[in-house]
Amino acid sequence: MNDTTRKILTEISTVTRDIEMNYPELQKYLSETQSTLPKGDNQSATISEKELNSYLEELKKMISEYKDKH
């Protein structure tokens, strides 16, 4: 795993924890957003940095939209 991928995964973890701690009402949507990640036919399937970035941006957008409405 390269440094860029590691940074993206760390940020995804941080944003997910933020949702769990500060926006518990959004937790029900976490499994839905995870469904946007590609599913491989086996455990060795890899997810690209582009796909991880897309997922991260989706999480951030969810928080942003929630804040705008509340």
Tell whether the model's pLDDT for residue 40 goes beyond 60.
Answer: no
pLDDT value for 67: 94
Task: Give the residue from 10, 15, 22, 28 showing the smallest Cα distance to 61.
Answer: 15
> Do 33 and 62 contact (CB within 8 A), yes or no?
yes
pTM over 0.85: no
User: What is the Cα 19 distance to its own chain's centre?
Assistant: 10
Q: For 10-23, how does the pLDDT look when each residue is reduced to its tens digit (9 = 90+)?
A: 999 999 999 999 99
- Strands (DSSP E) contained in 14-62 are none
